[in-house]
């Protein structure tokens, strides 16, 4: 994981970790998409995929796979494309 860095958060914004003001961010995303306030996904510079949990103790969790871009729909669907151009739909939250 990336090292923490200090960030000054503008008034009215949250640092994405459940804390307003200045916060140490353990994660740096290069892509982010939100289908809703509870369906937020991101990709870091190493192509790792993360999902926002909305929990202060662990705001982002790593999801298996790699992606160069990601898209989240309002209906909860999430799609990503990897560096080879292959397209995937996330099904990890669905019953088997």
Using DSSP's 3-state secondary structure scheme, residue 28 falls into coil
pLDDT of res. 92: 86
Residues 47-64: pLDDT tens digits?
Answer: 999 999 988 788 899 999
Q: CA-CA distance, 49 to 82, in Å (whole number)? A: 10
pLDDT digit string (tens) for 77-90? 999 999 999 999 99
Total-model pTM: 0.74
pLDDT at 6 exceeding the cut of 80: no
Burial class of residue 10, CB neighbours in 10 A (0-12, 13-18, 19+): exposed
Q: How confident is the model at residue 72 (pLDDT cuts 50, 70, 90)?
A: very high
Answer yes or no: are the C-beta atoms of 86 and 92 closer than 8 Å. no
């Amino acid at each position: 994981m990336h090292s923490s860095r200090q960030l000054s958060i503008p008034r009215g914004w949250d640092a994405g970790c459940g804390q307003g003001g200045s916060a140490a961010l353990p994660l740096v995303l290069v892509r982010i998409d939100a289908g809703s306030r509870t369906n937020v996904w991101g990709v870091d510079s190493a192509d790792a995929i993360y999902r926002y949990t909305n929990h202060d103790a662990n705001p982002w969790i790593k999801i298996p796979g790699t992606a160069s871009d990601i898209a989240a729909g309002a209906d909860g669907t999430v799609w990503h494309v990897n560096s080879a151009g292959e397209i995937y739909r996330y099904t990890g939250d669905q019953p088997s």
